[in-house]
Amino acid sequence: MRQFLFIAVVRATELSIRLSDWIFAIPTWVVISLYLSSRSTVARIGLLFMNIIDREQVVAANEADSPEDLHLQQTELELLNAASQIRDHYLETGNWTQEHTDAIEAVGNKLLNVCGWEEESIHEYMRRVVEAEGTGLGYGP
């Protein structure tokens, strides 16, 4: 008898939860749909005004977020992080080797050839990385 009552309470509780989920899901869905619809409408109106004010800037902003540009930005960030990791490895070992120099040069070459950085900007950035406080190193291209 206890087993039967226990199972009955479990099933009644489960049914009540499912029923309340169903009852509250409909108003929640309606509110979320209204929210998304109003948000989309505000965005469209804003875009319309932006197009009226300066269409060229809107087109340029859309082109700036292309997947190719985002991939290039990701590559650039990975290279900048690699330069910092090379310096951090030196700080861990306390010994700057030819491998460190080669790795810094490889990062610089990638920034030049893949990311389109200017040589002066590369040297300036690498100088800041290599001569960072606590390294005691000097940078000379």
Give the amino acid at 97.
T
User: Structure tokens of 106?
Assistant: 């490889």
Q: What is the pLDDT of residue 141?
A: 59
Q: What is the pLDDT of residue 75?
A: 92
Residue 42: pLDDT band with limits 50, 70, 90: very high
**What does the alpha-carbon distance between residue 40 and residue 90 come to, in Å, rounded to a whole number?**
51
Residue 44 has pLDDT above 80, yes or no: yes
User: Structure tokens of 51?
Assistant: 């197009």
> Is the separation of the CB atoms in 123 and 83 below 8 Å?
no
Q: Which residues contact 89 (CB under 8 A, 6 or more apart)?
A: 100
Q: Where are the domains of the chain?
A: 1-65, 67-130
Helix (H, G, I), strand (E, B) or coil at 22: helix
Global confidence as pTM? 0.53
Q: Which residues contact 139 (CB under 8 A, 6 or more apart)?
A: 123, 126, 127, 130, 131
Q: Dump pLDDT digits (tens) for 99-135.
A: 988 999 999 999 999 999 999 999 898 888 888 766 6
Of residues 58 and 10, more confidence is placed in 10
21 Rama class: left (phi>0) / alpha (psi -120 to 50) / beta: alpha
> Is the separation of the CB atoms in 130 and 87 below 8 Å?
yes
Instruction: Using the CB atoms, write b or e for 11-40: b if 16+ within 10 Å.
Output: eeeeeeeeeeeeeeeeeeeeeeeeeeeeee
